[in-house]
Amino acid sequence: MKLVLQSLREEITRRRALWITPFAFAGLVAVWSRRSQDTTAANDSAGDVTIVQFNDAGEKLETARVKKVVHSDVEWRKLLNSEQYYVTRHGSTDMAFTGTYYQIHEPGLFRCSCCANALFSSEAKFDSGTGWPSFWAPIAEQNVRKRSDTSLLMQRIEVLCTRCDAHLGHVFDDGPPPTNLRYCINESSLSFIPRKA
């Protein structure tokens, strides 16, 4: 009887090992793939980028090659408030109609809340009725970058800051002329600099 139980245990252990092996292998492949992507992203994020620089009055200064702004997760937590951190560093979204920037109509410049890169001018701002600040174009195409976003089971185009990779929001093709685009941007990603008279 003891021999039969031992043999049964060994058979169950072998079956369990055979059953678990494909999942363990798939897990190792996923971890390896993720580490490879993280390494590539870290290497990409450590270089220089080209942006167009603007003064606080919104006047174009020069196109410049600058160091990418890179911080650890711990450093970003210290530099940003909780809303800014979760929106810009983890792709969260502000609640609609909860901020004030969607209501602002005065002249000024919208900079990245993480690195102060110039992103949008109030001249391209419009009231989209969505409850988020909306723009028909960035202040300079080089200052933002776009990538495909398939989260929430839909295809969207994510907008990020070129200089620090902050998540800004998304761009849609239902905006006004001249571009017919709507850059739907989170207030937590922006810092508004009013134009001095």
* Residue 155 DSSP label: -
Q: Which amino acid is at 53?
A: Q
Phi and psi (nearest 5°) for 138? -75, 165
Q: Quick one: which of 136, 121, 141 has its CA closest to 49?
A: 141
Catalytic entry in 112, 115, 161, 184: 184
The partner residues of 43 in beta bridges, in order of sequence, read none
Q: Which residue has the tokens 């920037």?
A: 101
Cα separation, 100 vs 131, whole angstroms: 9
Length of the chain: 197
Active site residue 114: no
The partner residues of 53 in beta bridges, in order of sequence, read 62
Catalytic positions are 184
